[in-house]
A and B are shown apart, each in its own frame.
Chain A
Amino acid sequence: MNEDEEASLNSTMQMCTFRMSSRLFGVNILDVKEVNENTNVTPIYHAPPDICGYINIRGQILLVVNLRETFGFDQRHKTEAVGGKVVVFKSGVDEPFGILVDEVCDVVSVEQNRIVDRRAGDPNTSDAVRELRRAKDGIVVGVCPLDRELLLVLNARHILGRQSVKSLESK
């Protein structure tokens, strides 16, 4: 959790939720600019594998990230068609970019103190979370139990921060 989140620990936060590989994820709705159809991605050869490519949204060129690749979900069925929507983040979050998702779900209000910091190492964390923890640090900031399932809370600001480091490493 970043400082802002901690400061407002007891307030509620609106999450824009979506599904990737049948798991439920959410990002702070204040970071989201719009949701768009995933059309006509131009691949960027030599980019890290989880970078899908560029799309054009009203004249703006937008980097599209495939988080399933980042999290390593897709190893089994790579041939499956990738998601249908792009969640586009606001310009304050990073340089223009969006993430590829299968399906956009409801906006959910969650109380901040219900979000469990997965880094606390709670023994009850689910397999999914453990999997995530293993895969990527920083992007998943916590888990929030909803009525029927777990919501994995992502911090959009960390999605590409990590990636640029990775692309440097590969040099």
Chain B
Amino acid sequence: METDNDILAEYVEESREHLIHIEEIFEILQKTGEISLSSINELFRAIHTIKGSAGFLGLTSIGTLTHAMESLLDSLREGRLSVTQPISDTLMEGTDRLSEMFEDVNKSNTVNVSELVTTLKALNSGDTPAAVPAAAPAPQAPPEPVEQRSVADVLSQFPELAAFVPQEPAAEPPPVAPAPPAPAPKPVAEKPAAKAPAQAKAEAPAQTNSQDNKDSSKHEEFLRIKVDLLDRLMMLAGELVLVRNQQLMHLEQADATLRSITQSLDSVTTELQETIMRTRMQPIGTVFSRFSRMVRDLSRKLNKKIDFETKGDEVELDKNVLEAIGDPLTHLVRNACDHGVEKPEDRLAAGKSEAGMVTLCAYHESGQIHVDIKDNGKGMNRDVIRRKVLEKGLKTEDELARMSEQDLLNLVFLPGFSTAAVLTDVSGRGVGMDVVKTGVEKFGGSVSLTSIEGEGSVVKLRLPLTLAIIPSLIVQSGNERFAIPQVNLEELVCLYDKDAFTRIECAGAREVFRLRDTLLPMVRLREALAREKMFDEDALSEVTEQNSEARQEMAEKYKEAEEGGHTIHYSLNFAVLRSGNLRFGLIIDRIHGSEEIVVKPMHRAVKGIPLYSGATVLGDGKVAMILDATGLARHYNVRDVGGGKDGKKQKAKTEEGTELRSLLLFSNGGSEQFGVSMQDVKRVEAIETAAIERVGSQEYITLDGISTRVVRLEDGLRVQGSSQPENMFFLIPQNARKPYGLLVEKLIDSGHYEVKLNKESYQAEGVEGTALIKKKMTVLVNLEQLMHLVDGMWYGGQA
């Protein structure tokens, strides 16, 4: 195709916008079952505009199809035909086909549209005899050639197209006459004049005009802006914030006038930054909208009745994130329709309404966007999952027996779980769930699943607002600070005093640390930075030797000091990082805390260095490198030291009826010991009790700028109240719909414990049961239930 690429690109862009508009109209049609004349007019105009430029650009397939659609719409518009199911379906199919063709517009001419065109023609002629003379014989091929000739731009096409022209020149002349690339309204106004019976004619132009005005005003509200320009703006705004911060620091000595000026500068800067951030945001509705069609098609294909609803269409997400979630969402919605919602007869038999319901719901929460995919279908059958997992050999019967209900559900995320066989056998879900999980996790999101058998399932996606800004931990080694993306970070470990030199052990040439039940290979960031060559065994043993000497020295000094009656304080920090299936401890000099960073790619000249995944500007304006866990592990030659996992398994098998659970143990002042599942806890903050504020009967604390509701154990359970010491701990749960946390007085320990759950001894809502842990009776708290209890509305369960 010899077409000007710029014009073509613009045309494609424009046409896509038209198609989106068309789909919106169809959506209304689907919902309400009727369509207004003005909507038909809009459809007609949109299709006509696409057609016009298609001819001019030599896109014959698109031209032919749009022409057929246009003719049919014309008949509808003039009342010769009324909108029936087959007509709307075919038009929608046509729209879909157009969308496909616009995906790769250069190949669009190879797409065969003749069948669809025939159907369209048949529909146009079939129902009303009146339409036959005017529209039905209208041949579909000619408009392009004619238009092409009138524009006379695509010369190379001419001979071949000319062959078409003589065949049916009579059919089209009047409508084609207006300049094709011109905006739609004009031809619309003329066409009825040429063809339509008097009755319709009077009405159509009037409406067209009012629509025109609306259209043009709509266009003025948008402006296409290059993304680089926005990026640059964002960067400058960030810099402005730094300058402002510097000024704020010097404000101490300033006089009152300057202070107030600075304060307004401060607020303007903040607002400016937020506004610029928002320019990249788009409403999630743009992604949601495509699913209503999909659900409709699926329901017909599956012979089910499914209603579809979206909530929170206006919630805004970064463009990149929006693009990335399309596929996972498609997967999940399809799953919900296919495996979640039952057939009508089954639903009736189960005492439910005939039509199932699939809901997509987006909302903001604690700096993230949550998207719930909910259905009121049959839910997931734990037994089926159990059977499947056994069949696939993913887990042993023993392991399954020890799993909690939730753990069982989570098995559907196992990679091996989703296979073709599962798809046909299992009456639950789990098809390609691992794909969804990896897809979502790749850009820093997470997935969780809840399901009640017979009532339905909810898949919750948690997504970052933007990909450009990632939460990270800032650490220091030597004089330099580095950022570690939170995604790679599992936990932080600090060893104090004696532990600092006794707990790190040598295994062969490597240093390892016994973290609970696993052996963790250690990486010293300082050494990794100092040595440019990839670590081989020699280098490793050299490092290990040096450090074990250093440790010995420390031990001696410590002992000396102890004998002398005073103590030396040592501390050793490391971060447990995960890269793929590999975990390792990264020893660093200092931990600074977490910061949201903007990732900048590495410069071309230093891109090849495996240690870094990018660079960023920190809050104080200094550049910090972003560490790449995978590259670091490779550079340090980290291998799985093994031993750990097996040991765990053996241990898990020792006693019947027990379950190995990862728990966080704490006390609330009194002598009672409590535990919560580690996986329910997002993080733990050390707080000062003085910072807790009271509002009415509720207590709040501000964490990271978010007011977080404080829940006390004694609010929901009959246990001893806390004595309110100065410093307490705050457990922030996973999966909370609103920010809240559990206030506890003292953390005792965390780790994997064998739990033999006793449900009889202490029964209360919010409590799972009791167990003997570390030779002490421990009350296992169910965070979710506890929050339900304290404030039912707060928790985003399966309501």
Contacts and interface: CB of A to CB of B under 8 A. Distances in A.
Contacts of A56: 617, 621-623
Given A61-B617, A164-B605, A44 B612 contact: yes
19 contacts: A40-B622, A43-B480, A44-B625, A45-B532, A45-B609, A45-B611, A46-B611, A48-B606, A51-B605, A54-B623, A54-B625, A56-B621, A60-B235, A61-B623, A63-B603, A96-B603, A160-B605, A167-B605, A171-B608
A25 interface: no
A60 B611 CA distance: 21
Given A40-B622, A54-B615, A47 B606 contact: yes
A33 to B, nearest CB: 14
A46 to B, nearest CB: 5
Interface in B213-252: 235-236, 238-239, 242
A160 B605 CA distance: 7
Contacts of A95: 603-605
Interface string A30-74: 000000000010111111100101111011110100000000000
Contacts of A167: 605-606, 608-609
A42 B529 contact: no
A168 B608 CA distance: 7
A40 B615 CA distance: 15
A51 B606 contact: yes
A42 B609 contact: no
A55 B625 CA distance: 11
A59 B235 contact: yes
B623 A42 contact: yes
B349 interface: no
Given A43-B480, A96-B603, A167-B608, 12 more contacts: A40-B621, A40-B622, A40-B623, A51-B605, A58-B235, A58-B236, A59-B235, A59-B242, A59-B617, A61-B623, A63-B605, A168-B608
B604 A160 contact: yes
B194 interface: no
A3 to B, nearest CB: 23
B600 interface: yes
A94 interface: yes
A69 to B, nearest CB: 13
Contacts of A45: 529-530, 532, 609, 611
A97 interface: yes
A163 interface: yes
B605 A163 contact: yes
Q: Shortest 5 CB-CB distances between A and B: which pairs?
A: A59-B239, A59-B235, A45-B529, A54-B623, A42-B623
A91 to B, nearest CB: 11
Contacts of B238: 59
A113 to B, nearest CB: 33
Contacts of B616: 61
B287 interface: no
B624 interface: yes
B608 A44 contact: no
A42 B235 contact: no
Interface string A153-171: 0000000100110011001
Interface string B593-612: 00000001001111011011
Contacts of B625: 42, 44, 54
A47 B600 contact: no
Given A61-B617, A171-B608, A97 B603 contact: yes
Interface string B485-520: 000000000000000000000000000000000000
Contacts of B606: 44, 47-48, 51, 63, 167
A46 B627 CA distance: 13
A97 B606 CA distance: 12
Contacts of B621: 40, 56
A42 B604 contact: no
In the complex, which of the residues A40, A54, A163 has the most CB atoms of chain B within 10 Å of its own CB atom? A54
A47 B622 contact: no
Nearest to A162: B605
Given A45-B529, A45-B530, A46-B529, A55 B623 contact: yes
Contacts of A168: 608
A166 B655 CA distance: 60
A138 B603 CA distance: 21
A22 to B, nearest CB: 27
A22 B398 CA distance: 77
Contacts of A55: 623
Contacts of A47: 605-606, 609
A97 B114 CA distance: 57
Contacts of B242: 59
Contacts of B623: 40, 42, 53-56, 61
Interface in B607-665: 608-609, 611-612, 615-617, 621-625
B104 to A, nearest CB: 31
Contacts of B624: 42
A42 to B, nearest CB: 4
Nearest to A45: B529
A59 to B, nearest CB: 4
Interface in A86-115: 94-97
Contacts of B529: 45-46
B608 A42 contact: no
Contacts of B608: 167-168, 171
A99 to B, nearest CB: 12
Contacts of A46: 529, 532, 609, 611
A58 B239 CA distance: 6
A166 B1 CA distance: 43
Interface in B462-485: 480
Nearest to B616: A61
Nearest to B243: A58
Nearest to B620: A40
A96 B245 CA distance: 26
A44 B239 contact: no
A51 B529 CA distance: 15
Nearest to A97: B603
A53 to B, nearest CB: 8
Contacts of A43: 480
A94 B603 CA distance: 10
A27 B611 CA distance: 33
Interface centre among A43, A47, A56 (most CB of B within 10 A): A56
Nearest to B603: A63
Contacts of B603: 54, 61, 63, 95-97
A56 B238 CA distance: 12
Q: Which of A40, A43, A45, A48 has the most CB of B within 10 A?
A: A45
B604 A164 contact: yes
A122 B624 CA distance: 46
B592 to A, nearest CB: 15
Contacts of A171: 608
Nearest to B618: A56
A44 B617 contact: no
Given A42-B622, A42-B625, A59 B236 contact: yes
Contacts of A44: 606, 609, 612, 625
